[in-house]
Amino acid sequence: MCSFSTLAISCPEHARLEDEYLQARDRMRNFLTGSREAAGLRLGKVRRVSRFAAGKDKEEQRLADQMAMAIARLKEHIAAHGCER
C-alpha cells in the first residue's frame, strides 16, 4: 500500500476522489454538530419546530447522498485502477 503523498503523485484522480469524500464527510459532520446545537434551542411554536425539522431532514439526506456518491466513486476508481492507500 502507498502513502497518501505517493498516491497524490502517482494517481491524482485517486487523491481528488479521496479529497471529495473527505469534504463531504466534513460537511455532514458540521451539519450534524449544528443540528445537535439547534435541537437544544427552545423554539416558541411547534409549527416552527416542525418546519425546521423538515428542512433539516432534507439537508441531511442531501449530504448523506453526496457522501455515499463520493464513496462509490472512490470504490469504483480503486476497482478499475487497483490503487489504494
In percent, the amount of the chain with pLDDT more than 70 equals 64
Question: Taking the alpha carbons of 63, 69, 75, 81 in that order, is the dihedral positive or negative?
Answer: negative
- Measured CA to CA, the distance from residue 60 to residue 10 in angstroms comes to 34
pLDDT band for position 56 (cuts 50, 70, 90): confident
pTM check: above 0.85: no
Instruction: For residue range 7-24, list pLDDT tens digits in order.
Output: 445 789 999 999 999 999
Give the residue among 26, 2, 27 at the shortest CA–CA distance from 14.
2
